[in-house]
Amino acid sequence: MSHPPYIFIILVLLFIGCAPVTKEPPLSLIIDADTANEVDDLYALVRVIIEPSINLLGITSAQFHTSPLASDTTVLESQKINETLLQIMNVKDIPLPVGSNDPIINEDEPASSEASQFIIDKALQMPGEEILHLVILGSCTNVASAILQDPTIIPRINVHYLGFWHDQETNSYNKKEFNSGNDTLAVEILLNTRGLKLDIMSATTSQHLVFEKEKVDSLLKGQGGVADYLVDRWESYTRWWTDEDPLKERWIMWDLALIEALLKPEMATRAKFTTPKENTNRIITIYTEIDVPAMSKDFWDKMESYLNSRD
């Protein structure tokens, strides 16, 4: 005797309902930031810190020695702000390893540091097939050094780098960009390392994410804690690279564009390109477009939620 069709459908639905649901593990991140170099680094770091869906393993400090405002200890300046940021936000469980104060001087010799060793340790500790995501918001020194120190981490990491100017129509690269210029050899190491998963948020693409000071003031000023810290950083930092907008009414959120694209992939478009002709011929991924209104809205929605949760 055959069962009516609806009995079969019910049995299938019951089976599906009982089947175990495989949940993707949260992204495990280390953020490598030249935090003291600019303003947008702080906004990017805050966005990551308040995101509950990721596993933030640490924030490493990076050098930026080519800045005309640079001291002899730029990495310690970045380190200090990283420490202050977490203190203001009352976050105690995120490690803050110090990076190298000097760029790599030989492509075969790492600029080893507490940060590069931390990156190695965390990469080797990743369970199973899980990947450690390394987000570089400044110079590439610490990540490139980690690769030189222990190449066995290469298949266990995915590097996300903010750098270069890139013309997607001609696939031409301009490496005379600030982040890239702070460690030119480290950039070459990332491009030349076979098997390294490398995603690039170019300056060409990220330059379109711009915040207005008027909105920053209306949503953050007078809110206390990290909100006022972000406002003060905007107002107190000397923008040395341009004479335009002397009142600093607008600011490009370069680093935040990469963070938003990583946390919300639907807000950005990526494509595969070959590396520059002078580098090892291989395929890397470059962001070609970002949804600026969506990224801006996401940041401010998350900030509003965070600020309200403090009450």
Complete domains list, the chain, with CATH: 28-309 (3.90.245.10)
**According to the model, what pLDDT value does residue 70 have?**
82
Q: What is the mean pLDDT of each run of 10 residues along the chain (311 residues)?
A: 49 49 80 96 98 96 91 96 97 97 95 98 96 97 98 98 96 94 96 98 98 97 97 93 89 97 98 97 98 98 94 61
* Alpha helical stretches, state H, the chain: 5-18, 40-49, 74-88, 114-124, 141-149, 178-181, 184-192, 203-206, 213-220, 225-236, 254-263, 292-309
DSSP secondary structure code for residue 154 in this structure: G
Q: What is the pLDDT of residues 249-277, one digit of tens each?
A: 999 999 999 999 999 999 999 999 999 99
Q: What is the pLDDT of residues 194-240, one digit of tens each?
A: 999 999 999 999 999 999 999 999 999 999 999 999 999 999 999 87
Q: Output the six-digit token pair for 215.
A: 């909105």
**According to the model, what pLDDT value does residue 311 have?**
61
Between CA 284 and CA 212 the distance in angstroms is 33
**According to the model, what pLDDT value does residue 245 have?**
87
Cβ proximity of 77 and 71 under 8 Å: yes
Nearest to 156 by CA among 124, 115, 134, 182: 124
Q: What angle do CA 74, 70, 249 make, to 5 degrees?
A: 105
Between CA 178 and CA 165 the distance in angstroms is 10
**According to the model, what pLDDT value does residue 2 have?**
43
Going from the C-alpha of 31 to that of each of 48, 95, 160, 176, 228, the distances in angstroms are 9, 11, 10, 23, 23
**According to the model, what pLDDT value does residue 112 have?**
98
Between CA 173 and CA 175 the distance in angstroms is 6
Residue 274's DSSP bridge partners are 283
Between CA 33 and CA 181 the distance in angstroms is 15
DSSP 100-132: -SS--SBTTB----HHHHHHHHHHHT--TT--E
**According to the model, what pLDDT value does residue 242 have?**
87
